[in-house]
């Protein structure tokens, strides 16, 4: 199996598992281009084994930085920077020359005597960043200056900082789609946190 075939197979495997478990993929295809034999060639952004890397179709590492934390979300931004976690509570935007140009660290809110974990984040079209905070049981939208400009409370039946949320995304209509691992459900919220749709996943008793 070639490096390209392995990357394609691994990506598909992680993607299917992510969909089934409501997880954000920590391995994503950045783009495709036809090769001489018209087979797709993939560049992959991934976090695994203590680092984040961009790997080309030949299996060559084009860019790499250390990253010891687990990650359920990661993305390459239109400006070429990488949005990635560096701890369970902090995400950063890192430039190709490996400089941190933006960061935000989530902390427990009043009433939360436990910990906070961030498993999902999304750079929005207006430059703000959507962050899902497990433990705080909320979504927040943070502007480029690091100020919280919106807070959306989440419905969680079985509170657990590690399992409150997984993948969370803002939809085109302004609503939010959130995977709740501990509850085994996907919920759609409006801008004020009202659940407008939900779906219970069959996780085989897990």
Taking the chain (206 residues) in runs of 10, the rounded mean pLDDT of each run is 45 41 49 58 87 91 92 93 96 98 96 91 98 97 98 97 96 97 96 97 78
Contact between residue 43 and residue 29 where contact means Cβ atoms under 8 Å apart: yes
Residue 82: the pLDDT is 97
Residue 37: the pLDDT is 61
Report how far residue 89's alpha carbon sits from residue 85's, in angstroms, rounded to the nearest whole number.
8
Report how far residue 159's alpha carbon sits from residue 112's, in angstroms, rounded to the nearest whole number.
11
Report how far residue 41's alpha carbon sits from residue 60's, in angstroms, rounded to the nearest whole number.
13
- The single residue listed with the structure tokens 């992510």 is 18
Residue 4: the pLDDT is 43
Residue 114: the pLDDT is 87
Looking at CATH, the fold of the domain delimited by 1-105 is given as Lipocalin (2.40.128)
Where are the chain's structural domains? 1-105, 106-206
The domain defined by 106-206 carries CATH number 2.120.10.30: yes
Residue 20: the pLDDT is 37
- The single residue listed with the structure tokens 């359920």 is 72
Contact between residue 29 and residue 78 where contact means Cβ atoms under 8 Å apart: no
Report how far residue 168's alpha carbon sits from residue 149's, in angstroms, rounded to the nearest whole number.
17
Structure-token pair, residue 99: 């400089």
Residue 41: the pLDDT is 76
């Amino acid at each position: 199996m070639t490096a390209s075939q392995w990357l394609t197979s691994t990506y598909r495997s992680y993607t299917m598992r992510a969909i089934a478990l409501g997880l954000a993929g920590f391995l994503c295809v950045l783009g495709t281009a036809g090769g001489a034999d018209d087979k797709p060639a993939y560049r992959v952004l991934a976090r695994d084994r203590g680092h984040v890397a961009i790997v080309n179709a030949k299996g060559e590492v084009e860019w790499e930085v250390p990253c010891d934390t687990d990650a359920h979300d990661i993305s390459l931004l239109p400006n070429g920077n990488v949005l990635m976690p560096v701890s369970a509570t902090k995400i950063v935007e890192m430039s190709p020359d490996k400089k941190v140009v933006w960061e935000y660290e989530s902390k427990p809110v009043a009433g939360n005597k436990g910990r906070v974990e961030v498993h999902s984040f999304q750079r929005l079209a207006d430059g703000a960043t959507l962050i899902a905070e497990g433990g705080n049981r909320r979504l927040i939208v943070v502007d480029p200056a690091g100020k919280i400009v919106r807070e959306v409370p989440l419905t969680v039946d079985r509170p657990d900082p590690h399992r409150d949320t997984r993948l969370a995304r803002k939809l085109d209509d302004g609503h939010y789609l959130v995977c709740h691992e501990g509850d085994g459900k996907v919920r759609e919220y409006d801008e004020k946190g009202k659940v407008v749709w939900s779906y219970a996943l069959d996780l085989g008793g897990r």
